[in-house]
Amino acid sequence: MAARSLSLATILAATALLAPLAGAPVAVAHNHGGETASGGAVISQPYAKATMPGAKVGAAYMQVKNTGKTPFTLVSATSPASEKVELHTMSMDGGVMRMRQITGGVTVEPGQTVSFTPGGMHLMLMDLKQQLAAGTAIPVTLTFSGAPAQTIQFPVQAMGDGGHHHH
């Protein structure tokens, strides 16, 4: 257990050191699987999938709920863990899995929850700067039109863990 605690402490310290380099806001919302709300945008169940050493891409998932009275749009995301983050969708086309970038963002209507899940919409972390190791967390800043930006901690889960939280 001590090794895991040290690993998490080390990664949190590294995250704190890297956040200012990424131009992240000083007030960072630390969220470990709970809910963080800002301007009607409530982010819950954030997680990223662990990657193999040397992997160049990774994926992150979450739930985005609109508790406000007006729609907002998730327009972009950034993370110090990768060169860029793209909003992607995945679909099956004649038995072939196709992934494509979502342009124009993802709009969330009042009262609606949009799920970013494996096999569907997700955040694609491009040109990873480090391996996404299980038991660590990566900060991701979500930029909205119609709601304030939020920086959320995405816990990294082992590859076999589905990330689904059953209540």
Residue-wise DSSP of 58-98: EEEEEEEEE-SSS-EEEEEEE-TTEEEEEEEEEEEETTEEE
Give yes or no for residue 4 having a pLDDT over 90. Answer: no
CA angle 117, 112, 45 (to 5 degrees): 40
pLDDT confidence tier of residue 134, bands split at 50, 70 and 90: very high
CA angle 30, 103, 55 (to 5 degrees): 60
| 136-to-40, 112, 131, 164 alpha-carbon distances in Å | 28, 30, 10, 18
The mean pLDDT value for 100-129 works out to 95
pLDDT confidence tier of residue 93, bands split at 50, 70 and 90: confident
Q: Please give the share of the chain, as a percent, with pLDDT higher than 70.
A: 73
pLDDT confidence tier of residue 98, bands split at 50, 70 and 90: confident
pTM: 0.73
Residue 118 tokens read as 């494996």
* pLDDT at residue 123 in the model: 97
The mean pLDDT value for 44-71 works out to 95
The mean pLDDT value for 52-76 works out to 95
Integer Cα distance of 6 and 148 in angstroms = 33
* pLDDT at residue 95 in the model: 86
pLDDT confidence tier of residue 83, bands split at 50, 70 and 90: very high
CA atoms within 13 A on the CB side of 110: 3
24-51 confidence digits (pLDDT tens): 333 333 334 455 556 789 999 999 999 9
Q: Which carries the bigger pLDDT value, residue 134 or residue 26?
A: 134
* pLDDT at residue 15 in the model: 38
Domains along the sequence of the chain with CATH: 2-157 (2.60.40.1890)
Element (H, E) at 24: none
Integer Cα distance of 128 and 112 in angstroms = 31
* pLDDT at residue 9 in the model: 37
| 102-to-44, 96, 120 alpha-carbon distances in Å | 21, 19, 12
Question: Are 115 and 60 in contact, with CB atoms under 8 Å apart?
Answer: no
